[in-house]
Each structure stands twice: as structure tokens, then as C-alpha cells.
Amino acid sequence: MDQSIYYKKITPEHKWYDLKLKEVWTYRDLVLLLVKRDFVAKYKQTVLGPAWAVIQPLLTTVVFTFIFGAVAGLADSGAVPTFLFYMCGNIAWQFFAGCLSRTGRTFVDNRGIMEKVYFPRLAMPISTCISQLVAFAIQAAMFVVFVVIYLFVPRFHIQITKFIILVPFLILQMMMLGLGCGIIICALTTKYRDLQMLIDFGVQLWMYGTPVAYSTKIFEGTPLIRIVNYNPMTPIINAMRYACLGPDCGQFDLKYYIVSVFTTFLILFAGIVLYNRAEKNFADTV
């Protein structure tokens, strides 16, 4: 008689490399509801509402233009307005930073609902990133308006290159990188709560290591240029400026961009694995 019918091999319900993305797709309607909730809650009970999505990057750009551009002379944007140089970098960075910092607080901010209702936990940080994308779209529209205005100013020369077709992919990459970094931090905060206090500080330090406030041209001919370019956000910011404003503002280095893409996928994969492991018992530790 076949003895195998009396035995059953016990295996984990989900393997460590099971990313549960199919389950998230099944709950896509919930993701859209969470996106709407995040966007509405962010501007609820504010006088200006969604206008803050425009005011904040606009004021930041003005400050950067004066301090880093006019006073420190770090822009080096050639015939392109310094204001556009900083606006392009600022709205891209704020989108990435928003994805990272908001997803890094997923377990802490949403503990109540996660303890009561089942849904794929990955839907929460994904919805957060999509809501950040809505704010980014508003800011990008503002940027386009300013580009059109400056196109009619004779002393400035803005060159929109053929790499403009890469912009959607650059935006998607920023979202994936921010999501990956954010959920890694989120998973680690279930054991190390100190990381929760360091998110904003760490994002600020990362910004200064990224050519948001300065041009990478100032490092040309020095060993620092390679260090800066291996920052996964550097090729993205440079490519964004190169595509939208021309070679005076940025550059597209294929080697560093490939490294950036590889790093993004690696961080995102590691983040999803860690997040899926942490969400099983986060309620006992957060």
C-alpha cells in the first residue's frame, strides 16, 4: 500500500519571495479609495486646499533661486533661467521625498484600520505613492506653464530634447525608489522605533547629496563626481532637467542611469519582501 497518503509535507503558506502583487491588483478598487482618502485628508480643513501643492514648491524654488543660485552661484544653468533649473529639481525631489517619508510611516499612521480589516497591506503604501503622484501632476502643470512663459523671453534659451519621452519612466522610477526605501524603513521601524524619528532628517541629508540645490558640473574633474553620480536619484534629476530644459541644465549618462535603475529594482524588491514579513506581526511591535 502506498504509505504517502498518510503523510503530508508541511510548507509555508507564502514563500519569502512571494510579493503578493496579484493580490494587490485584486484589491485595486480599494487602492483607488485609499488614494482619494489620502488626498482629501491632506488638504482637509485648510484654507487654500490643493493650492498648497503649488504654493509649497513655488516658495521653495524662490528660496533656492535666491540662496543657492544668486548668492552661492551653484546652479550653472547656462542660458536657462535659474528659476526653472530649481523648479524642475524641486518638484521631482519633493515627489520622491513625499513617497519615501509617507510610506515610511505606514504602520504607525494606519495601525487602527490594519488591526480591524483585512486587505493586502501593500495596498496602503502603494496608494500613498499614487496620491503623491496626483500632487506631482499639479506641480508639473505649473512647471509647464512657467516653461511656456520663458520660451517667449528672448534672452533665455530653453531646449526641450528628444529625451522628453523618458519623463514618464523617470517619474515611475522615482515612485518605485521612494516606495522601496519607504517600506524598508517601515518594516525596520517595527523593531527599531528610532528610525521613525530619523526619516525627515535622513531625507534632508539625501537631498544635499543629490543635485537639487546645485549642478553636478561643479564636481567635474574631481573624485566626488563619481560618488554623486552613484546616488540613484542623481541620474534621475539630471535626466529630468536634460529632457525638459536642455543640455545646459543636465545630462543623460547611460552608465549611471542603468546603475540607478538596477538599484531601484533591487531596493523595491528587498522592500516588498521585508514589508510582507513585517506586516504579519507588526501589531504586536508597533
The pLDDT score that the predictor gives to residue 69 is 86
Domain total in the chain: 1
Q: What is the pLDDT of residues 20-60, one digit of tens each?
A: 778 888 888 888 888 888 877 776 766 666 777 788 889 99
- Tell which residue, 213, 178, 185, has the closest CA to residue 96: 178
Q: What is the DSSP string of 172-200?
A: HHHHHHHHHHHHHHHHHTTT-THHHHHHH
User: Is residue 116, in this structure, part of any structural domain at all?
Assistant: yes
* Residues 6 or more apart in contact with residue 139 via CB below 8 angstroms: 53, 54, 57, 91, 94, 95
User: Is residue 97, in this structure, part of any structural domain at all?
Assistant: yes
| pLDDT at position 145 over 90 | yes
* Residues 6 or more apart in contact with residue 231 via CB below 8 angstroms: 206, 209, 210
Domain residues for the domain of 88 are 14-285
Between 250 and 261, the more confident residue is: 261
User: Is residue 122, in this structure, part of any structural domain at all?
Assistant: yes
User: Is residue 168, in this structure, part of any structural domain at all?
Assistant: yes
User: Is residue 5, in this structure, part of any structural domain at all?
Assistant: no
User: Is residue 9, in this structure, part of any structural domain at all?
Assistant: no
Identify the residue whose cell numbers are 530634447.
Answer: 161
User: Is residue 66, in this structure, part of any structural domain at all?
Assistant: yes
pLDDT range class, residue 230, cuts 50, 70, 90: very high
Can you give the pTM of this predicted structure? 0.88
C-alpha triplet 51, 99, 165: angle, nearest 5°: 85
> What cell was used for 60?
521653495
The pLDDT score that the predictor gives to residue 9 is 46
**222-247 average pLDDT score:** 94
For 211, other C-beta atoms within 10 Å of its C-beta total: 25
| pLDDT at position 144 over 60 | yes
User: Is residue 7, in this structure, part of any structural domain at all?
Assistant: no
- Rounded to whole angstroms, the Cα distance separating 166 from 164 reads 5
